[in-house]
Structure 1
Amino acid sequence: MARAVPAWWQAGPFAAVFGLFFLLPLALTLAVSFWNFNEYELIPAFSLRNYLTVFEGCGALGDRGNLCVTLATYASTLQLCALVWACTLALGFTVAYFLAFHVRSPGMQTALFVLCTVPFWTSNVIRMISWVPLLGRNGLVNDFLMGAHLVDHPVEWLLFSRFSVVLAFVHLYTMFMIVPIFNSMMRIDRSLLEAASDAGASAWQALWNVVVPLSRTGILIGSIFVITIVMGDFVTIGVMGGQQIASVGKIIQVQTSYLQFPLAAANAVILLAVVLMIIWGLTQLVDIRREL
């Protein structure tokens, strides 16, 4: 009888890949964040200069009670993230609920689920750019509104605004919310809904007291996906915001383009810490390991 391979040996290749492509780059980013730099070179000497620069002026409010640049940027990013999370959660939960409980045929469920993935067959940039001829000053939406005499002038805030950024995020990342919620809903015992109905619960009461609690693992996983992607995104905000909306990811991208790698690394470390705190707060609501 062949000897069983030790568990640590089986996990070795995966641990090596994880360490090489995740832990090592993360450690290098953390190390570089403490380096110094000038216009010509990086100086590998321990310094807190980058972190002090990031939080420069944040010790007190400005003359008009304004936040410093860093805190204002994080506030803007968190606001966008909250809006996108709420929209993707509402849309993702609705689609997943329809697929799980109102589509009876497994074949039709699969077909509709695959239909939801169709936008992923093209790149994110192409999907973002496709909104421009719809939402621009001379786009189809403004042409329709003006042709129907609903407005006298083109609506300016449809494109290169927070609205267009949130719309693009919802378009791009709702699928990341649908998949885990749909997976959680498919694991719900349908007899529980029948029992709730027999006990006199309405459809809304059954939804709120049975479906939502039993779908919380999928909601949490989808929320983590969406929040982590949106918090670090800079492409979508740059394209759909017309380079006019500040975000933490955009600041890091600009600093990298100017070869200010230690400063960008410090911002990346701070952003990682903020995202990890958000994820930690979410995991306090649901024990993912126990639920899975």
Structure 2
Amino acid sequence: MMDAATPAAATRPGRAAAARRVRGRGISVYWQAAPFALVFLLFFLLPLILTVVVSFWHYDEYQLTPAFTLENYHDVFDGCLAKLPDLCVTFATYLSTLRFCLTAWAVTLVLGFAIAYFLAFHIRSTTVQMALFLLGTVPFWTSNVIRMVAWVPLLGRNGLVNQALMGLGLTSGPLEWLLYSQFSVILAFVHLYTLFMMVPIFNSMSRIDRSLIEAARDAGATGWQTLWNVVLPLCKPGIVIGSIFVLTIVMGDFVTVGIMGGQQIASVGKVIQVQMSYLQFPIAAANAVVLLAVVLMMIWALTRLVDVRREL
């Protein structure tokens, strides 16, 4: 009996040591994640919580008063229900922002998909692909403001585009809508954010098994049929991720709207920026919370279409 019990007793220290090693590895994982969690807490969650808290404060011309009031949210939507079916200032501003958002999304989607398709299926060399990617990131070496200001000598009243059009006899005078208009705002958005759409789509395309493309061709599918029935469905996660990037950035972008719109076009981000400049922090925070809610609903709707976790 003693001999039979000895092996079982001998294995207990080994099991205990193995359990301690497992617990040690578990603790080390938490220590490794702690710096990232701390950065996430300090630079994302804490400012977000403070924004929500300040949105319920009271303010006047002289001071902010920590208190719980819904007055700021009431001011954001003041008169919106009474003016229906006409749009109040808030609804009209959100409609204008959504129009910019959806137009920029559609154009960047078409351009990003076309560029990603060319890189993934027509460029065989990985070196050439990386070189073209690097070429696409060159504009990001400068600030967004510099890249937007660069459009002014091109699209201005006496810019190169107007001079070329008048020189060719296509127009009798300069086109006023090229600059400081909705067109210039959309053009700047497309210029700035097409890469954010293209990269996730290219990532999805690079994972497509080329044997599927060959099987579709062997089955007699045309190029458009292969694109629609094979490539496009397999690229949905990349399209959704790129759409999230573009939509969320454009919704809150006020610098592009201000510069390319000549400070004449309203957007939600521009409204918040103006309120901040007048030190109206509580109502600006309320507007920011409403904007965040709208953006989160858009992200939720997009993530319901496909499982984006496969791409992460």
Please indicate the TM-score interval, normalised by the length of the shorter structure.
Answer: over 0.9
**1:118 maps to 2:118:** no
**1:151 maps to 2:171:** yes
What TM-score does the superposition give when structure 1 sets the normalisation length?
Answer: 0.97
**How far, CA to CA, are the matches of 2:165 and 2:93 in structure 1?**
34
Which of 57, 72, 81 does residue 59 from structure 1 map onto?
81
Which of 121, 138, 146 does residue 158 from structure 2 map onto?
138
**How far, CA to CA, are the matches of 1:17 and 1:110 in structure 2?**
31
Equivalent residue, structure 2, for 1:14: 36
**1:154-194, Cα deviation, whole Å (9 max, x unpaired):** 10100000000000000001110111111111111101000
| Within-5 A mapping of 1:8-47 | 8-47=30-69
**How far, CA to CA, are the matches of 1:79 and 1:54 in structure 2?**
20
| Within-5 A mapping of 1:1-292 | 3-6=24-27, 7-61=29-83, 65-290=85-310, 292=312
The alpha-carbon deviation at position 124 of structure 1 amounts to 0.5
The alpha-carbon deviation at position 10 of structure 1 amounts to 3.4
Q: Which letter does structure 2 place at the counterpart of 1:25?
A: P
Equivalent residue, structure 1, for 2:4: none
DSSP 3-state at the match of 2:78: coil
The alpha-carbon deviation at position 135 of structure 1 amounts to 0.4
**How far, CA to CA, are the matches of 2:297 and 2:257 in structure 1?**
23
**How far, CA to CA, are the matches of 1:192 and 1:113 in structure 2?**
25
Task: Please say which structure displays the higher CA radius of gyration.
Answer: 2
Percent of paired sites with the same residue? 71
Decide which structure has greater helix share.
2
Q: Decide whether aligned partners of structure 1 residues 127 and 255 sit closer, same or farther in structure 2, where only a CA change above 3 A counts.
A: same
DSSP 3-state at the match of 2:228: helix
**How far, CA to CA, are the matches of 1:114 and 1:209 in structure 2?**
31
DSSP 3-state at the match of 1:4: helix
Q: Which letter does structure 2 place at the counterpart of 1:158?
A: L
CA contact 2:204–2:311 (8 Å) conserved in 1: no
The alpha-carbon deviation at position 291 of structure 1 amounts to 5.4
**1:170-223, Cα deviation, whole Å (9 max, x unpaired):** 000111011111111111110100001011111111111111111111111110
RMSD: 1.3
The alpha-carbon deviation at position 140 of structure 1 amounts to 0.5
**How far, CA to CA, are the matches of 2:158 and 2:132 in structure 1?**
34
Q: Which letter does structure 2 place at the counterpart of 1:14?
A: F
Which runs of 5 or more residues in structure 1 are unaligned? none
**How far, CA to CA, are the matches of 1:273 and 1:197 in structure 2?**
45
Question: How many aligned residue pairs are there?
Answer: 290
DSSP 3-state at the match of 2:25: coil
**1:67-112, Cα deviation, whole Å (9 max, x unpaired):** 0000000000000000000000000000000000000111111111
**How far, CA to CA, are the matches of 1:289 and 1:25 in structure 2?**
26
